[in-house]
Structure formats: C-alpha cells, structure tokens
Chains A and B, each alone.
Chain A
Amino acid sequence: SQTIHQWPATLVQPVGSPLSLECTVEGTSNPNLYWYRQAAGRGLQLLFYSVGIGQISSEVPQNLSASRPQDRQFILSSKKLLLSDSGFYLCAWSVLLAGGEQFFGPGTRLTVL
C-alpha cells in the first residue's frame, strides 16, 4: 500500500531563517506531487505541483520554492522566512489519472516568529 511521509511535524523558526520541508511517498511510482498551505482560516491553497523529476509548477508567487530531486521526494524551501509563511503545510500525491483523488500526508505546522 502507499504511504506518504512529511517531516518535521512541527517547526518554529525565526523570521529571516531558511526553511526545508520534506515529503516522501512509498509504494507508488511516478506520482504527481503537490504542496498545499492551510492558513488559520482553514482554506487550502495549492502552492506547487510536480508531474515528474525536476518538473515544478508554481501556482502562487511567493517567498517559497519547491524541488523534486527524486521520483518520490518533494521538498519545500525558503531562503528567508516571513511571518506570513506561518501555517500548516500539506503534501499530497496522486496517480496520473484524470480527476484522480489526492492522498495527503500528516502535515507540518510551521510557526514563524
């Protein structure tokens, strides 16, 4: 069966510090991968998605970047965190299928102070 991992689970970082969140998927090959952010208002916003190694699409201009160095690894980064980067970050995967459902990881709660 497929599983998706995210770490760390929680993170407290000062403004201006770098960020690296990691997501890995097991039990599937060539998944589509996604990064979402959920702010305090509960809505989920798609940040990045990837259909293959090295292929990254950004949905919202922002202070963050993403990379996919391996087939089942997706990394969210920032060189300098802002207060507004605080939130709950969720990674998800889906198969290459029209309208296929996405399966989410446990999330990382980031607080920028």
Chain B
Amino acid sequence: AQKVTQAQTEISVVEKEDVTLDCVYETRDTTYYLFWYKQPPSGELVFLIRRNSFDEQNEISGRYSWNFQKSTSSFNFTITASQVVDSAVYFCALTNENQGAQKLVFGQGTRLTINP
C-alpha cells in the first residue's frame, strides 16, 4: 500500500526565513510520481510540482526548491526567503504508474504560517 507522511503538522516562521517542509513516502512500485500542492485560505489546491521516480534531480523554481532522495524515500520542499503570501497548507502526494485514472494518496498536510 502507498502512504505519504508529513510529520510537521504546523510550522510558523518569521518572514524572510527559509523553511523546509518534509515529506516521506512509502510504495512498492518502481515507477511512481510525487507531487506538491498548495492550499491557500481560499481552499483551492494549486499544483506546484510533479516528479517521477526516475528523475532525482533537484528542482528550483524561484524561491521554491525540491529535494528528491530515493534512498530515504523523501521529497522535501524548501521555501527560501519566505513571504506572508506563502502562508497556506501544503500537501505532498503520491501515485503509481497507471494509464487510467491516477489515484493520488495525500499526506495530512503541513500548515505553514509566515509572520510579518
């Protein structure tokens, strides 16, 4: 069975600090896909990144970066120089290779609060 664990329930930092959100996953599949989503107070989930199991290159997009390490089954997300607008609940998710519907397994989410 697949499982995603986000051990950090809530994180609170001061603006401009760097913050890392942890994600640990479990799967028996050799091919799988990992995702991060952001849920601002409005409620809509916003897609941030998708990574497949064969691509362990770290990804950087502006102030956001992702560290994928298969050896530790982790896919961590770092926000550099955090801003108040980064305040949201962040979800890590996992799915296996499937030509049909992709059933996402979500972690419980990490509520990130950036204080001015």
Contact = CB atoms under 8 A, between A and B. Distances in A.
19 contacts: A41-B108, A42-B89, A42-B109, A43-B107, A43-B108, A49-B101, A90-B43, A90-B45, A96-B99, A98-B97, A98-B102, A99-B95, A99-B98, A101-B50, A103-B47, A104-B37, A104-B44, A105-B44, A107-B44
Q: How large is the interface on B (under 10, 10 to 19, 20 to 34, 35 or more residues)?
A: 20 to 34
A23 to B, nearest CB: 13
A99 B50 contact: yes
Contact of A50 (B95, B101, B103): B101
Contacts of A99: 31-33, 50, 52, 95-98, 102
B44 A106 contact: yes
Interface string B23-62: 0000000011101010000111111001010000000000
A98 B97 CA distance: 5
Nearest to B52: A99
B91 interface: yes
A3 B77 CA distance: 27
A44 to B, nearest CB: 4
Given A42-B108, A43-B108, A101-B35, A59 B103 contact: yes
